[in-house]
Amino acid sequence: MNGRRGSVAMALVPFASVDRSALRWQRTAETPMEFTLSSGDAPVARVRWAHVGGSLASAELSGETWTLKRGGFLNPNITARAADGTTVARLTVHLSHHTIELPGGAAYRFHRAGVLLPAWKVTGDDGQEVLHLEPVREGRRLEGGAVIAPPYATDRPELLLLIVVAWYFIVLAWFEDEALVPLEGP
């Protein structure tokens, strides 16, 4: 059972083998917290936090593992690293938008889809949306999220990396916001 909702974790399948137009994140464990990215019934990635309330997490993919960690205070950033320590992505936090930088110079903007929308989107240099992520909640609890990639973006080799880094950020932000709720008045 492993703390997962009533089932043993299924083996991850390669991202290239699934329908990338129908992806979703689902919370699959509480302690440590874990979310699984699936297409239909096929799991393709898992993000699992090392400690409750911490920022260190691992992303497990078919045949690969990354570590994810938030760093910095005045200039916050998120780094995704391969098992050999190589940085595979860096998300830099700015006031109105964030930037996801990949090795080789590729950069994407990551920002809210709208003022009143809980959704987020990733856009390329040309301003075209590459990815749309919409958290799904039950009350105040984050249960998962819908992931939408337009047809022209589903074959990008960096798509899974963008999905994982963006989701990690969304989950951290969600739980930081939840931690402030007891401090708010009625």
* Between residues 8 and 29, the one the model is more confident about: 29
Q: What is the pLDDT of residues 105-164, one digit of tens each?
A: 999 999 999 887 789 999 998 999 999 999 998 888 899 999 999 999 999 999 999 999
pLDDT class of 174 with cuts at 50, 70, 90:
confident
- What was the pLDDT predicted at 6? 43
- What was the pLDDT predicted at 95? 82
- The candidate with the shortest Cα–Cα distance to 177, out of 135, 145, 125, 146, is 135
Q: Which two tokens stand for residue 22?
A: 């129908």
pLDDT beyond 50 at 7: no
Beta bridge partners of 146: 24, 134
Alpha-carbon Rg for the chain in angstroms: 16
- CA pair distance 89, 100, nearest whole angstrom: 7
pLDDT class of 183 with cuts at 50, 70, 90:
very low
Q: Are 3 and 30 in contact (CB under 8 A)?
A: yes
Q: Are 160 and 23 in contact (CB under 8 A)?
A: no
Domains and CATH numbers, the chain: 15-180 (2.40.160)
- What was the pLDDT predicted at 73? 83
Q: What is the pLDDT of residues 15-71, one digit of tens each?
A: 999 999 889 999 999 888 999 999 999 999 999 999 887 899 999 999 999 999 999
- What was the pLDDT predicted at 82? 97
* Between residues 73 and 7, the one the model is more confident about: 73
pLDDT class of 186 with cuts at 50, 70, 90:
low
Chain mean position to CA 116: 21
